[in-house]
């Protein structure tokens, strides 16, 4: 199974680049930038990665991002992730970045997107990994702040293909951002949104209807609404599911309770992704391996999951055909 999973050409569609910051690099950057850390060493930092829900994770994740200061830091972060992709036969990746996490600390937008994009370009030329960048608005902040971020981003519009919505879900429904996403669509960007991770199935409906998303990030709570499951089956609007994230954040009490296998068998376009691999204990292969063993997935099921990732991506039809 390990060999089989390794050999599958994998596409990642739900990865927060800030969530790929491993404790070792976090310490290196803290030292380089002279940022004091409330942890004595890598081991005690890793030991703090015990989460009870999404917010308990986000608090630590935003704290970790404070060590990212210079353009080179964003390059190093992204390059480390791409090397993991290379080791795990991830051939294409569409990654999120959260500009507000950085610009609100006074880091220039240009340095954030510049460092990430420079690494992605090297990923393609040196490792053969293609990629796309998705800017994500923080939903716990205001609509006004999202509009301001969009304005700041427009001079760099050639560097990203889409805009998403992440951070604290409950109490921050997609429709809070209807107007800014209408503008985003007008500008020609792809739209995605986190919905139905901790929040209700209703948020998946409003992401679809009000924001007109091309994909739902997470979406596992769709099972609470049979009409929604049927809609997702018929339309094949993809769900970018993140199994290790879901168990680490207690969305499912254990992996054997995860619904990805059932949704796959019902014909939904579910995909496997790592979300924040440095915090949740694994990259793409670890996610595939975890669901395979807990849910006893077969090779045809695993291959279908990988094909769904290709189908759900923003790659050209020509490239998709070449990978299928």
Q: Extract the runs of DSSP E, i.e. beta strands, from 27-98.
A: 90-97
Q: Least distance in Å: CB of 198 to ligand HPA?
A: 8
Beta bridge partners of 205: none
Asked if residue 275 binds Zn ion (CB under 5 A), the reply is yes
Angle between helices 178-186 and 143-153 (to 10 degrees): 20
Q: Which is nearer to ligand HPA, 68 or 315 (CB)?
A: 68
DSSP state of 80: H
Q: Tell me: is residue 275 an annotated ligand-binding position.
A: yes
> What tokens were used for 134?
């998705």
Q: Tell me: is residue 14 an annotated ligand-binding position.
A: yes
276, 16 in Cβ contact below 8 A?
yes
Q: Would residue 197 show up in a list of annotated catalytic residues for this protein? A: yes
**Alpha carbon 295 to chain centroid, angstroms:** 23
Q: Tell me: is residue 218 an annotated ligand-binding position.
A: no
3-state secondary structure (DSSP) of residue 237: coil
Return the C-alpha torsion angle 194, 95, 23, 61, nearest 10: -30
Distance CA 88, CA 245 (A): 18
Q: Least distance in Å: CB of 166 to Zn ion?
A: 5
Distance CA 112, CA 75 (A): 9
Asked if residue 71 binds Zn ion (CB under 5 A), the reply is no
> What tokens were used for 249?
């954040």
Q: Which is nearer to Zn ion, 218 or 307 (CB)?
A: 218
Active-site residue, selected from the candidate residues 18, 94, 169, 197: 197
Q: Least distance in Å: CB of 59 to ligand HPA?
A: 11
- What are the residues binding ligand HPA (CB under 6 A)? 16, 19, 54, 61, 166-167, 194, 197, 245, 275-276
285 binds, among ligand HPA, Zn ion, none (CB under 5 to 8 A by kind): none
167 binds, among ligand HPA, Zn ion, none (CB under 5 to 8 A by kind): ligand HPA
Q: Which is nearer to ligand HPA, 39 or 62 (CB)?
A: 62
| Active site residue ranges | 197
Chain residues binding Zn ion by CB under 5 A are: 275
Q: Which residues are annotated as a binding site?
A: 14, 16, 194, 275-276
């Amino acid at each position: 199974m390990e060999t089989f999973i390794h050999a599958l050409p994998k596409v990642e569609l739900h990865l927060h680049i800030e969530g790929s910051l491993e404790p070792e690099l976090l310490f290196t950057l803290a030292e380089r930038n002279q940022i004091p850390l409330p942890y004595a060493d890598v081991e005690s930092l890793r030991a703090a990665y015990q989460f009870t829900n999404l917010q308990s994770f986000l608090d630590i994740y935003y704290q970790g991002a404070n060590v990212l200061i210079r353009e080179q830091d964003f390059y190093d972060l992204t390059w480390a992730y791409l090397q993991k992709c290379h080791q795990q036969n991830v051939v294409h990746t569409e990654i999120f970045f959260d500009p507000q996490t950085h610009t609100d600390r006074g880091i220039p937008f240009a340095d954030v997107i510049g460092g990430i994009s420079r690494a992605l370009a090297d990923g393609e030329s040196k490792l053969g990994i293609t990629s796309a960048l998705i800017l994500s608005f923080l939903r716990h902040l205001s609509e006004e702040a999202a509009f301001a971020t969009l304005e700041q981003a427009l001079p760099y519009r050639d560097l990203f293909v889409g805009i998403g919505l992440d951070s604290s879900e409950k109490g921050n429904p997609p429709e809070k951002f209807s107007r800014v996403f209408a503008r985003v669509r007008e500008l020609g960007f792809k739209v995605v949104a986190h919905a139905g991770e901790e929040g209700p199935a209703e948020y998946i409906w409003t992401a679809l209807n009000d924001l007109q998303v091309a994909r739902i990030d997470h979406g596992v709570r769709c099972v609470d609404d049979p009409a929604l499951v049927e809609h997702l089956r018929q339309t094949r609007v993809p769900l970018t599911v993140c199994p290790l994230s879901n168990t680490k954040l207690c969305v499912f009490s254990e992996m054997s309770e995860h619904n990805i296998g059932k949704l796959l068998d019902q014909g939904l376009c579910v995909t496997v992704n790592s979300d924040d691999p440095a915090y949740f204990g694994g990259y793409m292969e670890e996610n595939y391996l975890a669901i395979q063993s807990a849910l006893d997935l077969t090779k045809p099921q695993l291959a279908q999951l990988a094909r769904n990732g290709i189908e759900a991506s923003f790659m050209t039809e020509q490239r998709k055909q070449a990978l299928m």
